[in-house]
């Protein structure tokens, strides 16, 4: 089955940058609604950024102007570029996507990455 594998987390200082990657593996027809979420300990998971199959983007107010979601030409990997990081950005970041597979409808099924820790020191 399809899996989303994340990489790129780590520890950075305030004002630093990180780029998170989310690679889809397995057999699929298309990837839709690429999305990033984050969850701090004890908090609810919150929306961060989304990239539609048509190329449109959407960002949470808290990250607008600092984060950018994108994908590569092969469309099997997408990214979250995080600049001007703040301590309040510290969380586990999860990628998610609607992916159309042999066993899904045309709308696809939602898949989740394993999560990666981002820690921003003050």
Least confident of 35-44, 45-54, 66-75, 101-110: 66-75
pLDDT by residue (tens digit) across 79-92?
Answer: 999 999 999 999 99
| Chain mean pLDDT for the chain | 95
Q: What angle do CA 49, 61, 93 make, to 5 degrees?
A: 40
- 85-117 burial: b if 16+ Cβ within 10 Å, else e: beeebbbbbbbbbbbbbeeeeeebeebebebbe
Q: What is the pLDDT of residue 10?
A: 97
Non-local (6+) Cβ contacts of 105 within 8 A are none
Question: What percent of the chain clears pLDDT 90, i.e. is strictly above it?
Answer: 86
pLDDT by residue (tens digit) across 15-54?
Answer: 999 999 999 999 999 998 999 999 999 999 999 999 998 8
């Amino acid at each position: 089955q399809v899996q989303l594998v994340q990489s790129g987390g780590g520890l950075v200082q305030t004002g630093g940058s990180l780029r998170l990657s989310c690679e889809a593996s397995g057999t699929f027809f298309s990837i839709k609604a690429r999305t990033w979420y984050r969850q701090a300990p004890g908090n609810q998971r919150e929306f961060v950024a989304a990239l539609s199959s048509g190329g449109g983007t959407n960002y949470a107010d808290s990250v607008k102007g600092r984060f950018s979601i994108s994908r590569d030409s092969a469309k099997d990997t997408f990214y979250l570029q995080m600049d001007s990081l703040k301590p309040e950005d510290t969380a586990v970041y999860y990628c998610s996507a609607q992916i159309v597979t042999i066993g899904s409808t045309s709308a696809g099924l939602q898949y989740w990455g394993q999560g990666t820790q981002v820690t921003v020191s003050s």
